[in-house]
């Protein structure tokens, strides 16, 4: 049977993409565990393997606190492998057989083959052939790449015909656009990747970039390029549910994420309209919103659905 809108909508929280101070990172997840109406929380370093040791001492208590708060914990892998250290980090995460793991790089698929696992938004799953291949390897949830337009999401969702497979979309936060072997953060401060001194810690939501004309355009986060605007698919949730999407991923930022998760939970429950939720997000985070990719427009565009 195909996925349908009858599946109960879940609000999920992606891994923190940014290099927050370790204690702040821990306290953020403690608050999520106690207050946020999310069903699943992804935890783990996705961007830079150099950061992982900073959070490792707090990982066990974060996972325990989230589980005690009734959350399902999924461990996320790196999204790019450029060194032996990167490969070893992915292997160590995949070795945690007592948790579900989300693969964000194809190198994780070998270690996870035959085990139920999630596929993250950094893997390019654009069609049903790719999805079917990954399902045979154990994939049970697909968080689709955030640049997919509605037409492609609809086609893929209707082609996945297994009641135990869920489709997730990236519904809030700066959009992950690209990864590089170079560290843009270090380079911008006259440092090299190997001697970065963790300068990315200075920018809680990424380092904003301007065009030559002085207009804000993109943001960088270590080796990662992000949109400057914050994606919001609040107004599109109803349409996505009708397509068979049942999980909506929110990406952590330094704004009040408990408030953001609460807005999306109320939206999914029918207590808010898409327009009301969008207005509340604008007031809550005071950032420019976008949804262009979904509507087949440039990603930074904000298309009205009224």
Question: pLDDT tens across 282-301, in order?
Answer: 998 988 999 999 999 999 99
DSSP one-letter string for the chain:
----TTSPPEEEEPPP-S---HHHHHHHHHHHHHH---SEEEES--S-TTTHHHHGGGHHHHHHHHHHTTPEEEEEPPS---SHHHHHHHHHHHT-TTSEEEE-STHHHHHHTTS-EEE-TTS---SHHHHHHHHHTTEEEEE--TT--HHHHHHHHHH---TT-EEEEEEEEEEEEEE-SS-HHHHHTT--STT-TTGGGG-TT-EEEE-TTS-EEEEEETTEEEEEEEEE-GGGHHHHHHHT--EEEE---SS-HHHHHHHHHHHHTTSS-HHHHHHHHHHHH-S-EE-TGGGTS-TT------
- Comparing 6-20, 113-127, 166-180, 288-302, the range with the smallest average pLDDT is 6-20
Unique residue bearing structure tokens 């209707």: 158
Percent with pLDDT over 90 in the chain: 82
The number of beta carbons lying within 10 Å of the beta carbon of residue 130 is: 16
Looking at the DSSP bridge assignments, the partners of residue 72 are 40
Q: Is the pLDDT of residue 3 over 60?
A: no
Residue (of 60, 61, 16, 5) closest to 173 by Cα position = 16
Instruction: Give residue-wise pLDDT tens across range 47-88.
Output: 999 999 999 999 999 999 999 999 999 999 999 998 999 999
% of the chain exceeding 70 in pLDDT: 97
Burial of 53 (0-12, 13-18, 19+ CB in 10 A): exposed
Confidence at residue 4, expressed as pLDDT on a 0 to 100 scale: 39
User: pLDDT band at 260, cuts 50/70/90?
Assistant: very high
Its pTM stands at 0.94
Q: Which two tokens stand for residue 13?
A: 């929280």
Q: How is residue 29 written in tokens?
A: 């997840």
- For residue 224, pLDDT over 70 is answered with yes
Cα within 13 Å of Cα(64), Cβ side: 5
How many angstroms separate the CA atoms of 257 and 128, rounded?
33
Rounded Cα–Cα distance for residues 273 and 279 (Å): 10
In this predicted model, what pLDDT tens digit does every residue of 120-161 receive, in sequence order?
999 999 999 999 999 999 999 999 999 999 999 999 988 886
Domains present along the chain, CATH in parentheses:
10-174+231-277 (3.20.20.60)
Per-residue pLDDT for 192 more than 90? no
Q: For strand 216-221 and strand 117-119, is the pairing parallel, antiparallel, or unpaired?
A: unpaired
Is residue 226 within 8 Å of 176, Cβ to Cβ?
A: yes
With beta carbons less than 8 A apart as the criterion, state whether 96 and 75 touch: yes
Whole-number Å distance between alpha carbons of 257 and 259: 5
């Amino acid at each position: 049977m195909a996925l349908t809108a009858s599946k109960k909508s879940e609000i999920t929280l992606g891994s923190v993409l940014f290099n927050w101070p370790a204690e702040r990172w821990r306290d953020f997840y403690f608050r999520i565990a106690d207050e946020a109406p999310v069903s699943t929380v992804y935890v783990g370093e996705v961007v830079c393997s150099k950061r992982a040791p900073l959070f490792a001492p707090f990982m066990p208590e974060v996972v325990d606190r989230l589980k005690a708060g009734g959350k399902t914990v999924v461990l996320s892998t790196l999204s790019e492998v450029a060194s032996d250290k990167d490969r070893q980090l992915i292997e160590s995460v995949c070795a945690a057989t007592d948790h579900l793991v989300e693969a964000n790089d194809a190198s994780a698929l070998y270690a996870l083959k035959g085990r139920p696992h999630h596929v993250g938004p950094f893997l390019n799953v654009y069609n049903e052939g790719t999805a079917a291949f990954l399902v045979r390897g154990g994939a049970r949830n697909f968080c689709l790449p955030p640049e997919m337009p509605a037409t492609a999401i609809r086609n893929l969702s209707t082609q996945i015909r297994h009641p135990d497979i869920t489709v997730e979309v990236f519904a809030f936060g700066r959009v992950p656009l690209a990864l590089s072997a170079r560290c843009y953060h270090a380079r911008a401060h006259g440092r090299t990747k190997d001697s970065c001194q963790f300068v990315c810690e200075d920018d809680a939501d990424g380092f904003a970039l301007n065009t030559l004309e002085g207009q804000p355009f993109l943001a960088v986060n270590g080796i990662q390029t992000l949109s400057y605007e914050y994606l919001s698919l609040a107004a599109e949730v109803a349409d996505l549910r009708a397509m068979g999407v049942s999980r909506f991923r929110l990406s952590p930022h330094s704004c009040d994420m408990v408030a953001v998760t609460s807005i999306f939970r109320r939206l999914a429950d029918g207590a808010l309209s898409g327009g009301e939720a969008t207005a509340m997000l604008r007031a809550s985070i005071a950032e420019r919103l976008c949804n262009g990719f979904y509507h087949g427009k440039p990603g930074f565009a904000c298309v009205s659905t009224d």
